[in-house]
Structure 1
Amino acid sequence: MDLSFLLSHASHVLSTELTAELAGLGITPRASCVLSAAQAGERTQIQLAEICELDKTTMVVTIDELEKAGLVERQTSATDRRARIIVVTELGRKVHASAKDVVSRVHEDVLAALPDGEREGFVAGLTRLVEGRLSTPVACQRPPRRRM
């Protein structure tokens, strides 16, 4: 068993399916993540990038796309005039609500492929790995490129 291949393949196939399903709403999984994080409170682009694990350039492109679609607005922070707060518009809240439904449906469908008795244990084990042993990549000279 090649654990790296299994996790990578599962992640790639799930990401591809989510990308296809969310395309109907005009957004990507990355944009969905940013919308979700931006709705949770007053956050800057840099804070959202950290939450969604995006580099600065990717974050700027994502916010530009969301802003062009009318889903978010950049507003000047009340506490730091240099910082831009990302505010989700009314349309953005509607798209995000639909996206949450799509993501939940896809996740439920994927987990339904497992027998009832294995689903909860699978998610609990994977969560434990991601929050523990696999929470932070080790430093290496040529880190692998992340798919997103």
Structure 2
Amino acid sequence: MAPNRTSPDLSFLLDRTSHVLRTRMAAALGEIGLTARMHCVLVHALEEERTQIQLAELGDMDKTTMVVTVDALQKAGLAERRPSSTDRRARIIAVTEKGAEVARQSQEIVDRVHADALASLPDDEREVLLRALDRLVTGHLAEPVEAARPARRARQ
């Protein structure tokens, strides 16, 4: 006999909503030929001069995934690798004019997907949910912990 649950399954609730949101985001961004990772790189590279390593950290990507993502952006004419203006050994990811326009479009898509998801909640619940999630991500759940068997990350 299974043990009685004493509280809602927070892991399931967060995993399921995150998974469904990612699938909706992938479908929406796919309409303009982007992935969520490509969007992330374009937007963060437009904010300021950043190296590939810095962008990988911001996007929570490993080196291989980052290289593949930047290669795809370069092939599409949306970004290019250039020498850093502050460190001649480093290379930055520079967004092209075409890439900046695509980033603007993709940000509108991301904002719409997020707004659609939140629109399913009454206004007062939206604010509470966002405040609570922000408190978790900046507080108790800000950093992963080491485990003997690391948790597997969902494929994206």
| TM norm structure 2 | 0.91
Q: Which residue of 2 aligns with 1:99?
A: 106
- For residues 71-118 of structure 1, the C-alpha deviation after alignment (integer angstroms, 9 at most, x for no partner) is 101001133222111000011111110011111111111001111210
Query: Shift in Å at residue 10 of structure 1?
Result: 0.5
User: What stretches of structure 2 of length at least 5 have no aligned partner?
Assistant: 1-7
- 1:24-103 residue pairs with structure 2 within 5 A? 24-103=31-110
Distance 2:109 2:68 in 1: 23
Over aligned residues, Cα RMSD in angstroms?
A: 1.0
Residue 2 of structure 1 deviates from its aligned partner by 0.7
Partner deviation per Cα, 1:2-56 (whole Å, 9 max, x = no partner): 1001100100000000000000111001111111111110000000011111111
Q: Residue 130 of structure 2 corresponds to which residue in structure 1?
A: 123
| Percent of aligned positions that are identical | 57
Name which of structure 1's ranges 73-82 and 51-60 shifts more when overlaid on structure 2.
73-82
CA distance in 2, matches of 1:15, 1:136: 21
User: Which portions of structure 1, spanning 4 or more consecutive aligned residues, are displaced by more than 4 angstroms?
Assistant: none
Residue identity in the other structure for 2:62? D
Whether 1:145 aligns to 2:152 is: yes
Deviation at 1:141, TM superposition (A): 2.4
TM-score (norm 1): 0.96
**How far is the alpha carbon of 1:132 from its aligned partner?**
0.9
Instruction: Name the amino acid aligned to 1:115.
Output: P
- Residue 142 of structure 1: how far off its partner (Å): 2.3
Q: Give the secondary structure class of the aligned counterpart of 1:86.
A: strand
Letter matched to residue 21 of structure 2: L
Counterpart Cα distance in 1 of 2:65 and 2:78 = 17
Question: Which of 7, 10, 15 is the matching residue for 1:3?
Answer: 10
Of residues 114, 126, 139, the one that matches 1:132 is 139
Cα separation, 2, equivalents of 1:32 and 1:143: 28
- Distance across 1 between alignment mates of 2:75 and 2:148: 37
Structure 1 unaligned spans of 5+: none
Name which one, 1 or 2, has greater alpha-carbon Rg: 2
